[in-house]
Each structure stands twice: as C-alpha cells, then as structure tokens.
C-alpha cells in the first residue's frame, strides 16, 4: 500500500502545489507588463548548448525559462517572506523547500520500491511554427525526456543507475521504479540539472538550435545573439497562476526578459548604475561598496558564494601523488591574509566542500580535527619541511590552467602563485577560454594544476561529483576506495540524520587528503532597482534555474518613470 515516507530529501506525501504568497504580504497587486533586463550569475557566459541531451551543467539557466520540471523550489519559504531559505545555492533544495512544478502530487511505494507522480492536467506546449503544433503535455513527454537523456553518450556516469525502469500507465501518471534507494533521486530526475521535460518534436527538429526550443514553461525564447543577449517572451498559455488576496493572476507578470551577456565587470556595473540593467545578480564587494555610495536607491542581498574556490592538484601526477606535497602547498598560502587584504573581510576561511547553508551536513573549521585546521593556517616553514621530506628540497615547477572568463581568478591566482614561489614552487599560468577550459576537464587533459570555482551543488553531490573515482568534475583525479565505498553507503542511507553524519565524516577525510589548495570562499552581492517587485535576491529555484523566480517578478513602471528611468 502507498504511504507517506521520508525518502531522500523529500517527504513523499501526495500534496497540492503550494501557492507562492509573493507580494500578497505587502498588499501590492502585481501590474503585468514591462521588460526585465538582467545580468545573471553567469553574465560572462553564452549558452554552452540548448539541448539537454548534451548533459551540460548550465542547461537549466538557459532552457529552464522554457522547459518545466516535475518539481521546483517552494519560493514561499524565502527569507524575505519570513522563511528560512535564501535560494542562492546553485543546486540545493532542502527537504522543506520543494514543491510541485509539473507534478500535482507524488508518493512513494515500497513494494516494489517506486515513486508515482501525478501530473497536472491542461499543461500546454505553445505552437512553434516549423517545429510543432500546440498540444497538451502528458506522461509520454516525461517518459521521452528521461529516455532521451539516458541514451546520451555524454551522460554522467552512474547518474540513473538506481532506476530500473520508468513507465507511463496513463496520460497523467509516471512511475519511476528503483533498483535501490538513492538519496539524490529528487535532484537527479525531478528538479536537478538533468530533469527538464521537453517534447520530442523539438529534438527531432534539432534540439541544439535555439530557434527550435519550445516548452511548457513561463517564457519562450525569441532571440539569441551570441556573446550579447538572450531574449525571452512571456508564454501566453502558461499554466501557472498566483493568488494575491482574492485575485488569481496568470504568470508570468513581465512581457519580456533579456539576459545581458557582459564579459567586462566595469560594463556590468555601469549598466546597473545607469538603469540599463534592472538586476545585476553578482557584484563583487569592491563594486558593492562603491555602488552603495553612488546609487543609494539600490536594494541588496549579500550571500556566500555557492562555489568552492581552489586549485585542483592532479594526484595521478608527480609530485601531487604525495599527500605531503599537497599539504605543503596548502600551508604555503596565507589564506587569512587573502581574506583581509584581497577580500577586505568579505570571505570565509573554510566553507567547502559543505556550504554553511547545508544545515547538519556542514561543520565549521573550529569543529575540525587539528590535521584539517593546519591546512588553513599559514606555515611556510612546515611547508618547506614537508617538501624536503617528499624529495623536493628545492621545490619544483608545474602548470596551472585558469579560465579567462573568471574576473575573480585573474586577480586571485597571481597572489596564490606568489605565495608558492616563497617555498620554491613555481607555477606557470595558462589562461584558456571557457570552451577549452571545460573541455580540458571533461577530456581529462587538464594540467597538473587547475584553478576552479566548483559548485557546492548539494551536500551529497559536492562529494560525489568532485571526489568519487572517475567522475566528470573530479578535477584532481582523486581516487580512494574507502571514500568511494563511503559514498555508496551515503546514497543508500534513508535516514537523513545518519546520512548527515556520514557526509560530515567523508568531508573531513577529503579535506585532510588535500586534493585541492583550499582557498577562502567569497561573499557576493546581488543588486536591483526598487522598481523590481516581488524580489529579495533569490537566484535559483532548482539547479541553476531562475525561471520560476523571474516569472513572479513585476516592474513598477510608474516608479521607474518617477525615478527618471
């Protein structure tokens, strides 16, 4: 018999989709219309693909405006509405912050182990000339999307291995049958990076051509200029509604959203200051301090980066196969000085692999064993001693690759290299454009050193993707049989409290093994003009997916005019 059950991150009860209170608490009723100009978290990057078949991490940022998922963030739990969540993580939805998107309800069944989704009725794909006629989204589309991704040669290894089969017994029911429990099930196929639901007509027409992209989401893509902009228009037949008092209004509220692709930081700041941008989602502390003085009307949200900064050290190459060398490089870098002098205090000494927002999974540095603590303390003399013990009394040289798309790394990496030179270690910097940088990781051709911002994602994925043997994002080529077995146990563990304890233990181990030079994690800022309503700096309603957030924003056009814009 079906029953309520705690499964992974979600309590599996049949549920009615919660309404997002939005501005109902302020008494303001949204006024539809207008256009929103945004430089997103990924303002420097053009789309890397338009097809989910390519298994690219940025896909939901670009197509998540158009494609719906089974589940999404419950944005009524946002901090600005009195809730506990900031919704700034790249791909983390806590157990109390998940709601239905295409799914009206879902439940777990134990015998056999499965999850049953009931889809909302009347969800429509709009007409797309040359691609498809308007029609209803059904369970067959969920089935097609899953199988289409699963057959891709680019699929992340073992990602769907816990699924035995997926079936659609009727037009509005989808059942995922499990071989075994997996704690990431909801992230992997319900709201994560590789969970979007799309019609087969799009893929048959050419899914990687933006002109063919068509989904049931709140927006439709209308234009894309590489290196310049992505433009989305409201979907006039979108199924979403929101209640404001007695009024029920159709989403989205704005007529048009444009992502501005701006590779230059000064251009981003100028565009915000002059009102050409309504929202700038990532502002470094230096610019935040300046803008707060010069443009006092801006609204702000400060948030700890959802990416771990560091330099991956390939442990399958000499000299980084010796843990003494890796620990030495960590001790050689004055991380507190970087916080004080480079970040002006706007950073945390240790906030990776577990982000402080991952309650119960994260441990502060003060709770770590001494062997971990010493990796964050500046000790060049001990670093030299460890190098000598490892057979490198005069140091060594190596190459480190860095992405030219990262403004942060262009400034930070030379500081790190300077610290290493003091203990006789010379690092040659090789700057790559993003395509080559990403390809080096995927194809395992990356250098011995690889400067990175790697997403925290969520408590289990951050360990799996970056430190389990053979995983795509395992830049250090870290491989430890005990760690791999520990991760298998984590995924099989149904009790979340027990899973938290196991994750804390594995996080300690990987920190102690030092496959990266662990660097401070910076604070970022999001800035927006006061005419942007229904917003508090939320960035993602799932894995890099801002669509549900943008769908609920509205522009107070009268206020904008009064302010001279």
Q: Is 398 helix (H, G, I), strand (E, B) or coil?
A: strand
Q: What is the pLDDT of residues 232-258, one digit of tens each?
A: 999 999 999 988 888 889 999 999 999
Of 7-16, 43-52, 196-205, 361-370, the poorest mean pLDDT is in 7-16
pLDDT of amino acid 15 = 40
- Per-residue pLDDT of 41-99, as tens digits, reads 999 999 999 999 999 999 999 999 999 999 999 999 999 999 999 999 999 998 899 99
Alpha-carbon span 498 to 495, nearest angstrom: 5
Residue-wise pLDDT for 467-495, tens only, equals 999 999 999 999 999 999 999 999 999 99
Q: What is the mean pLDDT of residues 126-132?
A: 98
Q: What is the mean pLDDT of residues 182-206?
A: 97
Q: What is the pTM of this model?
A: 0.88
Give the torsion sign (CA, 465, 468, 472, 474).
positive
Kindly indicate the confidence band of residue 26, based on its pLDDT and cuts at 50, 70 and 90: low
Please give the average per-residue pLDDT across 423-429, as a whole number. 97
Mean pLDDT of the residues in the chain: 93
The count of residues in the chain is: 565
Q: Kindly list the distances between the CA atom of residue 419 and the CA atoms of 373, 426, 430, 517, in Å, as whole numbers in the listed order.
A: 19, 10, 18, 12
CA–CA separation, 382 and 62 (whole Å): 47
pLDDT of residue 8: 37
* Confidence label for 14 from pLDDT (cuts 50, 70 and 90): very low
| Cα 435 versus chain centre, distance | 19
Q: What is the pLDDT of residue 4?
A: 36
**Between 112 and 16, where is the model more confident?**
112
173 burial (CB, 10 Å; 0-12 / 13-18 / 19+) is middle
Q: Would you call 170 exposed, middle or buried from its count of C-beta atoms within 10 A (0-12, 13-18, 19+)? A: exposed
Tens of pLDDT, residue by residue over 544-556, are 999 999 999 999 9
Q: Cα separation of 199 and 207, whole Å? A: 10
Domains of the chain (ranges; CATH) run: 6-269+529-562 (3.40.190.10), 307-522 (3.10.105.10)
CB 536 within 8 A of CB 80: yes
Write phi, then psi, for 60 (nearest 5 degrees).
Answer: -70, -20
How confident is the model at residue 387, as a pLDDT?
Answer: 98
Q: What is the pLDDT of residues 360-385, one digit of tens each?
A: 999 999 999 999 999 999 999 999 99
* Number of neighbours of residue 468 by Cβ within 10 angstroms: 20
- pLDDT band at 28; cut points 50, 70, 90: confident
Q: Quick one: pLDDT band at residue 27, thresholds 50, 70, 90?
A: low
Average pLDDT (208-230) is 98
């Amino acid at each position: 018999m079906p029953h309520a059950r705690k499964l992974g991150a979600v309590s599996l009860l049949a549920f009615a989709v919660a309404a997002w209170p939005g501005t109902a608490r302020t008494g303001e009723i949204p006024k539809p219309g207008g256009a929103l100009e945004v430089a997103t978290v990924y303002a420097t990057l053009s789309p890397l693909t338009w097809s989910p078949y390519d298994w690219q991490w940025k896909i939901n940022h670009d197509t998540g405006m158009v494609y719906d998922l089974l589940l999404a963030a419950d944005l009524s739990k946002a901090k600005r509405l009195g809730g506990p969540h900031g919704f700034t993580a790249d791909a983390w939805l806590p157990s109390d912050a998940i709601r239905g998107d295409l799914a009206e309800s879902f439940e777990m069944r134990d015998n056999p182990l499965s999850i049953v989704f009931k889809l909302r009725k009347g969800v429509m794909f709009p007409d797309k000339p040359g691609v498809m006629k308007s029609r209803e989204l059904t369970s067959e589309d969920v089935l097609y999307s899953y199988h289409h991704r699963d057959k891709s040669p680019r699929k992340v290894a073992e990602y769907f291995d816990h699924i035995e089969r997926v079936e659609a017994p009727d037009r509005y029911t989808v059942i995922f049958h499990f071989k075994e429990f997996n704690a990431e099930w909801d992230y992997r196929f319900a709201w994560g990076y590789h969970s979007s639901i799309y019609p087969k007509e799009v893929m048959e027409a050419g899914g990687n051509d933006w002109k063919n992209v068509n989904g049931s989401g709140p927006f439709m893509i209308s234009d894309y200029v590489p290196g310049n902009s992505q433009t989305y228009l409201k979907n006039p037949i979108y199924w979403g509604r929101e209640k404001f008092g007695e009024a029920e209004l159709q989403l989205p509220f704005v007529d048009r959203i444009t992502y501005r692709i701006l590779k230059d930081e000064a251009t981003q700041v100028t565009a915000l200051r002059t009102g050409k941008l309504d929202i700038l989602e990532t502002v470094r502390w230096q610019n935040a301090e300046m803008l707060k003085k010069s443009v006092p009307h801006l609204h702000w949200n400060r948030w700890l980066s959802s990416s771990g900064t560091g330099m991956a050290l390939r442990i399958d190459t000499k000299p980084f196969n010796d843990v003494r060398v890796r620990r030495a490089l960590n001790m050689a870098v004055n991380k507190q000085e970087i916080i004080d002098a480079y970040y002006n205090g706007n950073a945390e000494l240790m906030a990776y692999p577990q982000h402080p927002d991952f309650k119960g999974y994260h441990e502060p540095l003060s709770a770590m064993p001494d062997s971990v603590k010493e990796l964050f303390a500046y000790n060049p003399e001990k670093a030299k001693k460890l190098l000598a013990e490892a057979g490198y009394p005069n140091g060594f040289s190596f190459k480190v690759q860095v992405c030219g798309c990262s403004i942060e790394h262009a400034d930070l990496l030379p500081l790190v290299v300077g610290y290493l030179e003091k203990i006789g270690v010379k690092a040659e910097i090789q700057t790559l454009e993003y395509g080559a940088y990403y390809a080096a990781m995927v194809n395992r051709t990356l250098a011995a050193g690889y400067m990175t911002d790697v997403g925290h994602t969520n408590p289990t994925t951050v360990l799996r993707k970056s430190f389990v043997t053979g995983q795509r994002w395992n830049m250090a080529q870290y491989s430890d049989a005990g760690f791999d077995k520990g991760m298998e146990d984590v995924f099989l563990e149904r009790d979340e409290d027990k899973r938290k304890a196991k994750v804390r233990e594995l996080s300690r181990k990987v920190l102690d093994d030092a496959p990266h030079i662990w660097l401070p994690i910076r604070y970022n800022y999001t800035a927006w003009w006061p005419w942007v309503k229904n917003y508090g700096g939320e960035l993602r309603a799932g894995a890099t997916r801002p669509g549900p957030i943008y769908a609920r924003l509205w522009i107070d056009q009268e206020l904008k005019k009064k302010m001279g814009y």
